[in-house]
Structure 1
Amino acid sequence: MGINRKQLSNALRYIGVGVKRIPRVIKELKRKGFHFFGLVIPIIYLLGLHYTTFFTTQVGVWILGTISLLYFIWEQMRLNIPAMQEFCVKMYGGMMREKEKDRMNGVFFYLLGSTICVYFFHPLIAVSSMLFLIIGDFTAALVGISYGRTKIGNKSLEGSIAMFSVCWILSYITFFNQNLAEHISFWGAISATLIELFNPSWIDDNLTIPILSAIIMKYMTARFGVDLPIYNNYV
């Protein structure tokens, strides 16, 4: 049995969310909750590398690249064919930001960013950077809208602290068996948080958060001299 809006509102009030904030929180839950489907990519990627011999980084890049290209074509059809645009608005328009209705939406940039991360970075770094976006960004938005008091631009200090905490835990779990895991995790988490906080409006953070945080983690592993494990021909 699903949770209806009244039950969700009651639950949010129970955990201290202000009454005036509840409609925004529910809207954000619906929109950002959809992004959790993006977890399929890092999960399949890691499981494939760990438990199969045929699934390599190259295979992952080809699959993600193909999906990204197909989604790009879909988006171009949505933006340029009125009937297609009307269909998409009816199907998932409520989960799109207003600005995404007449330009490429965040899903494409997530797919593109994931493809770039898988191609250029070690699997552990790529997976961590994707988790920063999927779960960390969600946490920042939810906590910021629900409890944010201290504003930093159009974001909040509370949301940023929550994002850093979640990102640090996620990346520490990912790098748990590696030397200096806590340091790599810290720099990855802080970079993702700062990127989310100060990301310019003209570029989608679904692209900048994973790519830039991956660059920082790659630099820190090199700086600390950490040798990451080999996965199916990926050193």
Structure 2
Amino acid sequence: MPLRRKAAVPATPRVISPSPAPSDRDGGDYVGPTTRSAVRKRMSSSQALEERSDDDDGDDEDDDLDAGAPGLRRARTRSRSPIDGRGKPSSRRPSSGHHQAARAKKTGVNGGEPGAGNGYLAPPQPSPVRGWSWRDFSRSPSPLGLIPIHRHWRTFVHKHEVPRKALHLSIGFFVVWLYATGTRTSSVPPYLMAALIPIATTDWLRHRYESVNRLYVRLLGALMRESEYSGWNGVIFYLLGAWIVLYFLPKDVGVVSVLLLSWCDTAASTFGRLWGRYTPRIRRGKSLAGSLAAFLVGMATSCFFYAWLTPTFGPMPGDDDFMFKGLLALPAALVRTLGIPDGLATLTGPAALAVVSLWSGFVASASEVADVFGWDDNLTIPVLSGLGIWAFLKLFA
């Protein structure tokens, strides 16, 4: 029987590893994950201090960084000047990790104060007050995490602001009830000021004492935006705006201005959040959808007051001072200059009401969009709307 010849077993191939990349050879820039126990040990242990000679005028920031972070310590180069000995600019650039550590040392954790970080992320903290500015009244985008109830009710309280909007809407119906019961507008401002003073005082106290602020947020957090955690409460501006228009403007203009504040602002916020992403943005935080909602609700509010509320429950005490009494006319000087017939220079009945309603919707939408020194909408909407309606009726009524 012939012997079979066994196949030769090939020799084991030689595996030659590729040449290491420059980044692999230089392992000094790599910093592995840091655990809490390692940080505590490093913070508790005394760090070696590097002596510096008096004639060393190098970069203090880099020296401090190298001394404080052992993982980032490097061998000192021969020359620390950006220009080498041959007179050519050096092409060496510090690593990204070196820059990030230096920037973190300057700004601290999450943009906080230098030296306040411990190597971990921290929840956002209210920025310290560095002088007063008109922009302090603005409403910045609301974060999440400062008010406990906003974390538990993210959709109901934080996203849709249902309790806050319900309070906003209820003020308008309360004003309607006051008018229907014959309350004079001159008797309302003292009550508004009596509520404004203690509320503003409490808001001032909670910004000075953290314990008061925690209690305040726990009790009224559902009615607040988280941007108001370190800012002024919107109720202050609501009361101030209502006080201004009811104290200085005629009865019908003041009442309509408060109704526009109560209903148009809520409509703009609601529909702007629902459909604002599908429409052009007018300015930051204001979309065309919200402005159209404010315009339509403003028209409906003016028509509701002049066409239904006043005829149904009126005349009430003080209604004789109404600026709009169902008649609009062009100024006499303009009529004489242009030679317009008297029949074409006046509007009465539904036509006059339609014009006033259109103008009310326009000023409501414009005041909701306008940014006056960054002031709160609860102040600018009633004041600008009231001034716009007053000027229009002063000219044409």
Q: Distance in 2 between matches of 1:34 and 1:44?
A: 15
Q: Contact between 1:57 and 1:119, CA under 8 Å: does it hold in 2?
A: yes
Task: Give the Cα separation in 2 of the matches to 1:104 and 1:115.
Answer: 18
Cα 1:184/1:37, change in 2 over 3 Å: same
RMSD of the TM alignment (CA)? 2.2
TM-score, length of structure 2 as denominator length: 0.47
1:39–1:134: 8 Å Cα contact kept in structure 2?
A: yes
SS of residue paired to 2:164: helix
Aligned length: 199
Contact 2:294 2:368 (8 Å CA) reproduced: no
- C-alpha displacement of 1:113: 0.6
Counterpart of 1:96 (choices 224, 227, 235) is: 224
The aligned runs of 1:126-165 (5 Å cut-off) are 126-148=254-276, 149-150=278-279, 151-153=281-283, 154-165=285-296
Residue equivalent to 1:175: 306
> 2 CA distance for matches of 1:196 and 1:186?
16
Structure-1 separation of matches of 2:235 and 2:193:
13
Q: CA–CA distance in 1 between the matches of 2:213 and 2:295?
A: 37
Instruction: Please report the TM-score for the alignment, with normalisation by the length of structure 1.
Output: 0.76
- Show the 5 A alignment for 1:1-235: 23=155, 26-39=159-172, 41-48=174-181, 50=182, 55-148=183-276, 149-150=278-279, 151-153=281-283, 154-176=285-307, 178-179=325-326, 180-200=352-372, 202-225=374-397
Task: Determine which structure has the larger helix proportion and give its number.
Answer: 1
Give the structure, 1 or 2, with the largest relative contact order (CA under 8 Å, sep 6 or more).
Answer: 1
Q: Which has the larger radius of gyration?
A: 2
**SS state of the match for residue 203, structure 1?**
coil
- Percent identical: 29
Secondary structure, counterpart of 1:104 in structure 2: coil
How far is the alpha carbon of 1:131 from its aligned partner? 1.4
> What is the CA–CA distance in structure 1 between the aligned matches of 2:239 and 2:173, rounded to whole Å?
11
Cα deviation code 1:82-138 (max 9, x no counterpart): 222111111222432232112221111010110111111122211111111111111
3-state DSSP of counterpart to 2:384:
helix
Q: 1:65 to 1:30 in 2, by over 3 A?
A: closer
Contact 1:77 1:84 in 2 (8 A): yes
Looking at structure 1, the residues matched to 353 and 196 of structure 2 have their Cα atoms a distance apart, in angstroms, of 31
Q: How much has 1:40 moved relative to structure 2?
A: 5.6
Question: 5+ unaligned residues in a row in structure 1: which ranges?
Answer: 1-21, 226-235
1:220 deviation in Å? 1.3
Partner of 1:152: helix, strand, or coil? strand
Contact 1:188 1:214 survives alignment (8 Å): no
Please report how far the alpha carbon of residue 28 of structure 1 lies from its aligned counterpart in structure 2 after TM superposition.
2.9
